Amino acid sequence: MLSTESRLTFELLHRDGAARRGRVTTPHGTIETPVFMPVGTLASVKSLTTDQLKQLGSTQHSALSTQHSPDRDSGPEIILNNTYHLMLRPGAELLEKLGGVHRFMGWDRAVLSDSGGFQVFSLANIRKVREEGVEFRSHLDGSAHFLSPETSLDIQTRMGVDIAMAFDECPPYGIPHADVERSMEMTHRWARRSLAARDALADARGKAPALFGIVQGGIHLDLRTRSAAAIAELPFDGIAIGGVSVGEPKEEMLAVMRHTAPLLPADRPRYLMGVGTPQDLLDGVAAGIDMFDCVMPTRNARNGSLFTSEGKVAIKNARYAADERPLDPACRCVTCRTVSRAYLRHLFMTGEIAASVYNTIHNVSFYLDLMRGVRQAIASNSFGAFRETFLSRFAGSRADEGP
């Protein structure tokens, strides 16, 4: 069995208040934190080739800038893949046969996979949830599948990811406290089974991913306290706050996050799952979160909702029809360096595929650049001022939507 250390290490480099500047090391490179992980649901960050993904951000777009270097300014250091979607298409067996998700998509940096729990409880037709696991039917073709702590870990291990997530039950918003509590207790039992499954897989295969546990408890802070303690005492490589972004009001999510983050051990990375807006990321960093993922930059890109340093831009707006300025004058992504708002509007209005491509390049670059700025600010003890300045511009009068 491999040691935990060889799978993942976390260095806490600096603190600025509760905000943390850290570094996660994986078999596929280092990840400077706080970090935003673009979502590559089906082993594809939607609209982008892997080649484009590697060049995202305010890069000079030269061959040189694609080389790996600490906190480099070209492309994400880690992306997320969705276990649920990939187990259905193309399937874990095929992914394993093809050498795992890295080789499959031509990606040599780190990959984190979710456990499938969130999608099973939000997308699939549940047949039966029991202590052993969940029987469900695919949202695509109705085919029957089973996920449990053991099968999820097995699939994630076949996928060859660097960081796997423990399989959890993800209850919806608005159910009674007692039901959330029962669900949470099962998630804790599943957490222990997940660790045992990972170790067994490591023994059997000589290799297994790092494993993060997930704190549940809904919007109930007493349950979050108990869950944080239960998960933190287990030898996970990192700890996530799950069960947020499931329909609860924004303030409830923030309250849960602010309550829970300080309860998590300082020596392991902290991951807030499925969150969120640029403001949410800054709030999370302020509370001591190290890792984030969200479909917002990629999904909004396809819908023409674009993030800029001056606020959100709905590119279909007629005001941009003759606007020759770059989408975000403060950005140096390929989109902002090569075409105008007028062109982006034209592509969006005519339904060109390139609209999604240009918009995704920019939105993901915006998130990556934001987090680079966050890291630099923490390192210079100026995160508070950075956050204030960012938010005052982002919510400023030149945006055509509220922040």
Contact between 381 and its own copies by CB under 8 A: the answer reads no
- Given 30, 33, 47, 83, the residue binding its own copies (CB under 8 A): 47
Contact between 340 and its own copies by CB under 8 A: the answer reads yes
Query: How far apart are the two ends of the chain, measured CA to CA in Å?
Result: 48
How buried is 212 (Cβ within 10 angstroms: 0-12 exposed, 13-18 middle, 19+ buried)? buried
Cα–Cα distance measured from residue 24 to residue 29, given in angstroms and rounded to the nearest whole number: 8
Cα–Cα distance measured from residue 372 to residue 75, given in angstroms and rounded to the nearest whole number: 11
Looking at the Cβ atoms of 340 and 389, the one nearer to its own copies is 340
Contact between 383 and its own copies by CB under 8 A: the answer reads no
Stretch that binds its own copies, among 11-19, 104-112, 153-161, 394-402 (CB under 8 A): 104-112
Name the E strands within 249-344: 270-272, 291-293, 305-308, 311-314
Tokens (6 digits) for 63: 């061959």
Output the smallest distance, CB 40 to its own copies, in A: 10
- Given 27, 29, 90, 172, the residue binding its own copies (CB under 8 A): 90
**Binding track, positions 124-163, relative to its own copies; x by CB under 8 A:** ----------------------------------------
Among positions 259-318, residues that touch its own copies (CB under 8 A) are 302
Sign of CA dihedral 142, 144, 148, 152: negative
Contact between 380 and its own copies by CB under 8 A: the answer reads no
Tokens (6 digits) for 126: 């549940």
Cα–Cα distance measured from residue 150 to residue 193, given in angstroms and rounded to the nearest whole number: 7
Looking at the Cβ atoms of 178 and 318, the one nearer to its own copies is 318
Chain-centre distance for alpha carbon 366: 15
Residue 319 C-beta-side C-alpha neighbours within 13 Å: 9
- Given 307, 358, 367, 386, the residue binding its own copies (CB under 8 A): 358
Stretch that binds its own copies, among 13-21, 165-173, 256-264, 337-345 (CB under 8 A): 337-345
Looking at the Cβ atoms of 204 and 322, the one nearer to its own copies is 322
Query: How many binding residues for its own copies (CB under 8 A)?
Result: 46
Looking at the Cβ atoms of 227 and 360, the one nearer to its own copies is 360
Looking at the Cβ atoms of 61 and 182, the one nearer to its own copies is 61
Cα–Cα distance measured from residue 185 to residue 327, given in angstroms and rounded to the nearest whole number: 48
